[in-house]
Amino acid sequence: MAVRQSSDLTKFKETLKTAKNVVILSGAGISAESGIPTFRGAGGFWRKYQASSLATPEAFKTSPSLVWEFYHYRREVAAKAQPNAGHIAIANFEAKHADKKITVITQNVDGLHARAGTKNLIELHGNLYKTRCTKCKEVLVNFDSPICEALTSRGAPDEKVVGSDIPVKSLPHCKKPGCEGLLRPHIVWFGESLESAVLERAGEAMESCDICLVVGTSSVVYPAAMFAPQAAARGAVVAEFNIETTPATPDFQYYFEGPCGTTLPRALTE
């Protein structure tokens, strides 16, 4: 049943003040304000490729070199980006409220929440700065720039560049003795399931929260798209912070329109 949205910030802050269990669910919108491309919709191209067509197991199997160039580009862009006022407001809110259980669940893979200082963080879709061995499955953090010598000066979004001529043997490989398997980005690609442990943690947080902030997410990518509507359906207070309404907005009690870097600091500071 649809509810009438409120934009009463004072009332929202009073509700937030009494909350004991807070979940902040973030999406591409908050990172876009730091200059991170969203690769969604009409502008979702890298070179001549639809970005979503490269973020698949099939694309990596067909051309791991091309996929690694795409992710090298993304790693470099994210490394140069800085957490914005929205990220910082969330981190500061967590740091100041030891009396509350605060969980940040993000669909973003750029690491900006962690760099802003957020501690209790669930990254639903992985992280650009983690690799996974396709052979032994070991997951490691890797901030090397470039991640391998062959990717030096590669990955520019030049539409005239087609394919990739980097030999597979020159791509990142596992350094574990006796393995040497090809590494892939530790990202949940289209057609892949979220890690069960990650999904379980997120589910537990959503089921126990008494207030949920939906921040810069389109609410169309599953399974995250169902989190907040389900919380609202069981009686939790849900507030959406976005530059425009989404299909889920009618399910929520609060809607605050505008950039997250403007609306969140107002909402999360006393």
Task: Give the 3-state secondary structure of residue 100.
Answer: coil
179 known member of a binding site: yes
Distance, in Å, from the CA atom of 68 to the CA atom of 74, rounded to the nearest integer, reads: 10
209 known member of a binding site: no
260 known member of a binding site: yes
14 known member of a binding site: no
Distance, in Å, from the CA atom of 245 to the CA atom of 239, rounded to the nearest integer, reads: 12
Could you list the active site residues?
Answer: 125
Query: What six digits make up the tokens of 137?
Result: 């499955």
Location of structure tokens 């304000």: 33
184 known member of a binding site: no
- Cβ distance 114 to 34 under 8 Å? no
244 known member of a binding site: yes
163 known member of a binding site: no
204 known member of a binding site: no
Sequence-separated (6 or more) residues with CB below 8 Å from residue 10: none
Distance, in Å, from the CA atom of 88 to the CA atom of 94, rounded to the nearest integer, reads: 10
Binding site for Zn(2+): which residues? 133, 136, 174, 179
Query: Binding site membership for NAD(+): which residues?
Result: 27-46, 107-110, 216-218, 242-244, 260
Q: Which residues are annotated as a binding site?
A: 27-46, 71, 74, 107-110, 133, 136, 174, 179, 216-218, 242-244, 260
Binding-site entries for substrate: 71, 74
